[in-house]
């Protein structure tokens, strides 16, 4: 598996699919010059770039060196990533390593990678929050994101292919249906106070089937299927599953709805 190529596919093809989600959250929270934002699982940094364009001081943290290299290209084009540049920081590792430059802590913490697809993803988000919340100030907004109901997400039918192919591994870490209260349960276990939620249409649109296959695989949601079978088999079955969503001009279009929850640090 070429992790560098996958990171590039995420950055160039898939990441933009969630732009409506980022915009809705930033608008709701009035993200701007007074915002100190920590982006968990920031990937290649598009959501951070959008927050920075609104004047926010941003810190992104992720474990993927390949995605973070692309984030640095976007956010630190001059190569400066030093303690003196406190308005933009990119940190590789765990949230605990992204201590805020401001003594009052972060005012917004985002976890935009949607849960509600892989077994154990809610637990993984809970672990991230346990490390990140001590870095946030009292009353800080914490944003969690998840897939909407399967019947509202055309991509769910494609993700079921991943579950089917992963069956030789017992379905471990494979796709699961989204539960209505996934986000609230994660927030409750983290000791956060819910403060509103919303749904956002985020259609997945691709130039062609090849782009769709590459973009979807870059999410990591098909990794269990690739492990259980092989790359060729996954590509074949994924292409077939995308056929109902291919339009006459060759483009692929899948309407989806994503949900976000805003919660507050006590």
Confidence of residue 75 (pLDDT cuts 50, 70, 90): very high
Look up the CATH number of the domain holding residue 147: 3.40.50.150
d(CA 241, CA 56): 40
Residue 260 has pLDDT above 70, yes or no: yes
The domain total for the chain is 1
Q: What is the pLDDT of residues 108-132, one digit of tens each?
A: 999 999 998 777 888 999 999 999 9
Domain range for residue 28? Answer: 3-153+176-204+256-264
Domain annotation covers residue 170:
no
pLDDT at position 84: 39
Give the residue with greater pLDDT, 101 vs 187: 187
In the sheet that holds 193-201, the strands lie side by side as: 88-92, 57-62, 36-40, 106-115, 136-147, 257-264, 193-201
Domain annotation covers residue 250:
no
Domain annotation covers residue 171:
no
Domain annotation covers residue 118:
yes
Domain annotation covers residue 111:
yes
Mean pLDDT across the stretch 212-219? 96
Within the chain, residue ranges assigned H as helices are 3-9, 19-29, 46-53, 65-75, 121-132, 155-165, 182-189, 209-217, 223-228, 231-242
**What sign has the CA pseudo-torsion 159, 214, 182, 63?**
positive
> Averaging pLDDT over each range in 15-19, 155-159, 165-169, 172-176, which range is the top one?
15-19
Domain annotation covers residue 211:
no
pLDDT at position 177: 67
* Percent over 70 (pLDDT), the chain: 92
d(CA 37, CA 25): 12
pLDDT at position 80: 54
d(CA 116, CA 94): 22
Residue 173 has pLDDT above 60, yes or no: no
């Amino acid at each position: 598996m070429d992790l560098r190529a996958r990171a590039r596919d995420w950055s160039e093809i898939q990441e933009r699919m969630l732009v409506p989600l980022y915009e809705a959250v930033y608008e709701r929270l009035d993200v701007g010059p007074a915002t100190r934002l920590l982006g968990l699982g920031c990937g290649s940094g598009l959501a951070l770039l959008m927050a920075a364009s609104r004047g926010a001081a941003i810190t992104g943290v992720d474990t993927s060196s390949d995605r973070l290299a692309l984030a640095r290209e976007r956010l630190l084009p001059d190569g400066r990533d030093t303690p003196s540049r406190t308005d933009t920081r990119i940190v590789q590792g765990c949230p605990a390593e992204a201590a805020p430059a401001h003594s009052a802590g972060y005012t917004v913490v985002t976890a935009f990678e949607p849960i509600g697809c892989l077994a154990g993803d809610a637990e993984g988000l809970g672990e991230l929050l346990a490390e990140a919340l001590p870095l946030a100030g009292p009353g800080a907004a914490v944003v969690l994101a998840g897939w909407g109901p399967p019947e509202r997400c055309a991509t769910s039918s494609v993700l079921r292919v991943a579950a089917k192919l992963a069956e030789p591994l017992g379905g471990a870490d494979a796709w699961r249906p989204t539960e209505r209260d996934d986000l609230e349960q994660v927030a409750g276990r983290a000791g956060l106070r819910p403060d509103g939620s919303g749904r956002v249409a985020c259609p997945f649109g691709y130039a062609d089937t090849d782009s769709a296959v590459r973009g979807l695989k870059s999410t990591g949601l098909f990794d269990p299927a690739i492990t259980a079978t092989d790359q060729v088999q996954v590509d074949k079955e994924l292409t077939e599953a995308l056929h109902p969503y291919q339009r006459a001009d060759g483009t692929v279009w899948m309407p989806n709805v994503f949900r976000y929850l805003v919660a507050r640090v006590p």
